[in-house]
Amino acid sequence: MSDTLLLNRDGQPLCMIPPSVIDWQLAVKLLFLKKVIVIKNHDDWAVHSQKLTLPVPSIVMTTRYVKPRHKVVFNRKMVYLRDNYTCQYCGKQFTSKDLTLDHVKPKSQGGSYGWKNIVTCCATCNWMKGAKVIDPLNEPKEPTYWQMVKASKGVTQYTFRDPAWAEYLGYDVPLQANG
């Protein structure tokens, strides 16, 4: 569950894809260990013990700067995002359930599995291509972290528990609360 937005000491999220969010239990634990400070609490949510009532943090910031690791993980979702959910042979846009991954240079011909040889492909084009080498519309390459952040903002619509997170995540319009 994503209850609390975690910011680095500089006020930036530790990660943007996906956004760095933690559950409320970890946020409270980090608060008691003095590893984070509270920027904002949830307006309508508190946890209770026998002797203590504590508002649940919505946004916390680390007390020490954590060096971010901006490396894009190679997986199906990231390839779809890099290619904008578009078949790289016919150029049509699809939903993720209608796309597959395709080796530009087939495995049977020594093609590797990585950023530079995998593209998104619709089932029809994948079947027609078979084990042939056909140049895709866009040459596959490894994206930078910031290219993927930009791509995710254009494609992925996140909904969060607190609309105040939008300001820290670079969204113009506050997002709907996720109940």
pLDDT reported for residue 171: 73
Report which of residues 136 and 163 the model is more confident about: 136
- Say yes or no to pLDDT of 22 above 90: yes
- Asked if 142 and 115 count as a contact pair (C-beta separation under 8 A), the reply is yes
Counting other chains too, the contacts that 123-129 makes at CB distance below 8 Å and 24 or more residues apart are 123/98, 124/90, 125/87, 125/89, 125/90, 126/100, 126/102, 129/89, 129/102
Q: Which residue shows structure tokens 């994206």?
A: 143
- Say yes or no to pLDDT of 139 above 50: yes
- Say yes or no to pLDDT of 27 above 60: yes
pLDDT reported for residue 169: 85
pLDDT reported for residue 158: 67
Residue 87's H or E segment, with its range, is: none
pLDDT in tens, 31-56: 999 999 999 999 999 999 999 999 99
- Asked if 45 and 56 count as a contact pair (C-beta separation under 8 A), the reply is yes
pLDDT reported for residue 157: 63
Q: Which residue shows structure tokens 């998104």?
A: 120
Whole-prediction pTM = 0.73
Report the C-alpha gap between 119 and 140 in whole angstroms. Answer: 6
Q: Computed from CA positions of residues 174, 53, 66, 156, in that sequence, does the dihedral angle turn out positive or negative?
A: negative
- Say yes or no to pLDDT of 172 above 70: no
pLDDT reported for residue 94: 94
- Asked if 105 and 117 count as a contact pair (C-beta separation under 8 A), the reply is yes
Domains of the chain: 4-68+156-169 (no CATH), 76-129 (1.10.30.50)
Q: What is the DSSP letter of 113?
A: S
pLDDT reported for residue 173: 53
pLDDT reported for residue 160: 74
In the three-class reduction of DSSP (H, G, I as helix; E, B as strand; rest coil), residue 110 is classed as coil
Q: Computed from CA positions of residues 24, 153, 101, 74, in that sequence, does the dihedral angle turn out positive or negative?
A: negative
pLDDT in tens, 51-107: 999 999 999 999 999 998 888 999 999 999 999 999 999 999 999 899 999 999 999
pLDDT band at 179 (very low <50, low <70, confident <90, very high): very low
